[in-house]
Each structure stands twice: as C-alpha cells, then as structure tokens.
Amino acid sequence: MLDRFIEKLQAFRSDGKTIRDWSVYQSESRRLALGTKDRQTGVVHAPLTVSEGCGARYLLVWSDGRISRGSLERRQLDQDADSALTQARAVSFEDPDSDQVQGPGEFPEVDLHNDGVAALACGDVEPLAGRLAAVRELVQGRNFRTWSGSFGASEATARLRTSRGLDLGGRGTSFGWHATLNGEIGDGFGARALDSDHEFAARLQRLGHVAVRLGEPGKRQPAGVMPVLMHPNVVENFVLGTLLGNLEGAGVVNGESYFRKEQFGSNKPVLRTDLSVRLDPLVPMKSGSYRFTAEGVPADRCHFIENGRLVQPVLNLKYARRFGAGPTPVPTSMDTVHLEGPPELTEQEGCEAAAGGVLILSVLGAHTQDASSGDFSLSAPQALGMTGGEPAGRLRGTLSGNLFELLQMDDLSLVRFRGEHTPGLLVNCRFDPK
C-alpha cells in the first residue's frame, strides 16, 4: 500500500508543481481492548473489541519550496491519493527549516516485540482471566464499592520511506492495564510485554492498600510549609511533565520556555548540581523504546540535563536547524525518562522523613499551570497525612510554590517506591488543607 502511494506521489503534479522531496511514515496495527465499568466486564459500556488500523504521516517539499505536513487514513493511502495530495498542496506553506528529509544511516536494534502480546491482540484473552479474577477477589475482600478498568494489547508494524533513499521497517507490541477502585484511585502498567503475575499481584495489592487508607479520615493539619512527599505518578505528571515541556525545542527557540537558548551548554546550573534528566529509548520492551522516530532520527541515549546543567533541548529536525544543533531522540513514554540525583531514600525512609507532612498521590490542573515560570497551585484531592512515619488518613488541599525553586533546594530527596520506575520527590512545600 505504501509503495503504491509513493508511486502516485512521485508522479503527482499540481498547478505545474511537483514534489521534490518527501518522507512518509506508515503504521498498521491490530488492537484488543477489554473494559470493566462498575464491576461489569465486557458490557456495552466497556466492550471487548478487536480492531485494526492503518495510517500515515507525511512531509512533502514541493518544487517551489513550499511545505506540506499531514496525516492520511487507509482509504486515502489506497484509493484517494490524488485527492489527498491535492488537498496537501492547497494547504502548503513556506517554512525553509522544515525542508529536511533523512537519508540512510545506522539504526540500533531494539527488542520491541512479544509473541504473547501479539496473540492477545489477535483475541487470545485467556491470559486475562486470572487477572480479572484477582481484581474481583480484591474488591470483594476489601469491600470496595466498585471498580472500573481496562486491559489492552496491540501489535503494530511501521515503515518509513524517504526520497533520499531511507527505507526502514519494524514491528512492535504494546500491553497495558489500569484499574480504578471506588471510582477515584487507580494504578496500572504499560510496556511491550505483559508484567509477570507476581508483579501484577503486588501492584494490585499496593493499590488496594492505598484505597483503604483514602477511605479513612485524616487529622486536619494547619496550613503552611511542610514535608511533602510526591508519589512517582505526581513526579511524572507534574515535575517531569513541566521539565520536558520546557525542554521542547520550539519553546526554547521561540523564547517561550523557562530555559533560555544561551543556557544550554553553559556551566551555570539551573537545578541542583546533582540532578539529571536523561533519555534511554534503547532498553528492550519498554513502552518508550524505539529504533527510529517518525522523521527517521535514530534512537540513542542522551542527557537533556546533567548535574543541574542544561545539555540540549528536545529537538526534532526543524528545531534542530533553528537551534543550530543536531536532532535528538524524543521521549515517547516516561518509562524511558530517568530522573536521577542524590542517593535515594527507600520508601520507608521517605515516609519517616515526611512525618508531620503529607503524601500527595495525585494532583489536578498540572497542564494548566504557567510552566514557563514554574509557579504552581495544584488541587490535591488525594493526599495522606504522614503520622509516625506511615501514611494515615485522607487529606484534601492545595499544593503551591515554584517548581524550579524546589528543584534547587538542599533538602530535596529522591525516594524509591516499590515497583515504580520514576522516584518520588520529597521537598518542603506549602500545603493548604481544605
């Protein structure tokens, strides 16, 4: 299908203009999804579905230098290529920095495919039976009101072709599950292979333990600056999300980021001098691992922040040219992003150090904050008071401060939570209970 589309692309002409350079990334996938809604699995509101998909993304450089970017559905690739290309020409634009198409190069080998997940994506749901039973047993044993969740598996093939002679292909799988108890607290897992039964059971039990604690009222605390232990989910959603957002090349080049262009490569730190953020998309079977990006940039290990200093932004081909550097690999999932720093506390040590404060399990509004300043005021509807080194009853409140100031403080600690890739973060921060 892709080859036929490219034949039409190479022969296409619109208003006397031809396509000088092109890059097309096509993917085909098969996916299974099984949901549970209010304890009912596979019902009309959470059905068992097996679906197939096909699509492509393209970059076209016309003979007059204008650029077209867009996406194509299966029908456009297979039957309506002329119409799709005519539309692409109609919405073309001038952008010399986007006139970049990759040629052949060296690309790493990374294990991204699992036969068990591929079978699941084709409809073999037997491996899910025991897991559904385990969730139901937990719900009944702990007397939770209800639960909802989902299991999903997919197998996909990808191919990238360019006018400069690059022709890459590969296949991979993806598996994930998520469960929410009592309609509010949830957890899950995602990778290119199933987690082991032991890992699944351990994560499920930890979720049940937290849900029980949230059902108990906490002792109201006075507002003010106190020890705040952010769960890894909060670190990924808010802390790393804010850092990576400010590392995006577009924001840096356009002056819309907290980080300025001249700070990259400087010896002046912007965070604590023992904090680093790096990417490793070469770890086998991680959700965020890959061999090449959709633009044809090879996957590789890299640092964005090292020992508190800015090394490089996240740069696609366009913004690499504008920034004046080479393109970088891009993060696609948090399980290949590493936040590293001083020696980590254990979960127990972190809880003891947070005595008199709170454990923040989730926040609302992370994506509405002023990321370019670092200022934040986040609703924390799921927090646990820390009494005697243990998470106690539930608190609700507002977390506020400046993220970049917190990441420069001497009393910051990383905390290793059981079963989590990203560490938790222990800081002194303002918390206002409701």
Structure confidence by residue, pLDDT tens digits, 238-286: 999 999 999 999 999 999 999 999 999 999 999 999 999 999 999 999 9
At 77, list the tokens: 């690739």
E strands, 78-182, where? 147-162, 167-181
Tell me what pLDDT residue 214 has.
94
With vertex at residue 105, the alpha carbon angle to CA 102 and CA 109, rounded to the nearest 5 degrees, is 120
Tell me what pLDDT residue 402 has.
97
Average confidence score pLDDT of the chain: 95
Domain residue spans in the chain? 2-210, 220-238+342-433, 261-340
Place of tokens 């972190």: 350
Tell me what pLDDT residue 310 has.
98
Classify the C-alpha dihedral 370-376-381-386 as positive or negative: positive
33-69 per-residue burial string, b: 16 or more CB within 10 A, e: under 16: bbbbbeeebeeeebeeeeeeebebbbbbbbeeebbbb
Helix (H) or strand (E) holding 252: helix 249-253
pLDDT-derived band at 168, boundaries 50, 70, 90: very high
Tell me what pLDDT residue 383 has.
96
Residue 387, burial from CB neighbour count under 10 angstroms (0-12, 13-18, 19+): middle
pLDDT digits (tens, 9 = 90+) for 47-78: 899 999 999 999 999 999 999 999 999 988 88
Cα–Cα distance measured from residue 314 to residue 251, given in angstroms and rounded to the nearest whole number: 10
Does the pLDDT at position 45 exceed 80? Answer: no
pLDDT-derived band at 44, boundaries 50, 70, 90: confident
Count of all residues that appear for the chain in the document: 434
**What mean pLDDT is predicted for residues 336-356?**
96
Give percent above pLDDT 90 in the chain: 91
Cα–Cα distance measured from residue 73 to residue 113, given in angstroms and rounded to the nearest whole number: 24
Cα–Cα distance measured from residue 73 to residue 84, given in angstroms and rounded to the nearest whole number: 10
Cα–Cα distance measured from residue 304 to residue 235, given in angstroms and rounded to the nearest whole number: 17
Give percent above pLDDT 70 in the chain: 100
**What mean pLDDT is predicted for residues 353-376?**
94
Does the pLDDT at position 102 exceed 80? Answer: yes
**Which of 276, 234, 272, 278 minimizes the C-alpha distance to 425?**
234
pLDDT-derived band at 389, boundaries 50, 70, 90: confident
**What mean pLDDT is predicted for residues 312-320?**
98
pLDDT-derived band at 1, boundaries 50, 70, 90: confident
**What mean pLDDT is predicted for residues 406-421?**
97
pLDDT-derived band at 206, boundaries 50, 70, 90: very high
Tell me what pLDDT residue 388 has.
80
Does the pLDDT at position 220 exceed 90? Answer: no
Q: How far is CA 10 from CA 130, 227, 252, in A?
A: 52, 62, 36
Ordered DSSP codes for 335-357: GGEEEE-SPPEEHHHHHHHTTTS
| Alpha carbon distance, N-terminus to C-terminus of the chain | 58
Place of tokens 């890299």: 302
Would you tell me the crossing angle of helices 2-11 and 81-90 to the nearest 10 degrees? 50
pLDDT-derived band at 46, boundaries 50, 70, 90: confident
**What mean pLDDT is predicted for residues 196-208?**
97
Tell me what pLDDT residue 43 has.
80
Helix (H) or strand (E) holding 321: helix 317-323
Longest dimension (CA), the chain: 77
Does the pLDDT at position 196 exceed 80? Answer: yes
At 149, list the tokens: 């969740």
CATH superfamily membership of 2-210: PmbA/TldD superfamily (3.30.2290.10)
Tell me what pLDDT residue 221 has.
82
Could you count the other beta carbons within 10 Å of the beta carbon of residue 290?
24
Cα–Cα distance measured from residue 286 to residue 405, given in angstroms and rounded to the nearest whole number: 32
**Which of 156, 180, 20 minimizes the C-alpha distance to 101?**
20
Cβ contacts of residue 362 below 8 Å, gap of 6+?
A: 185, 231, 233, 234, 237, 380, 381, 382
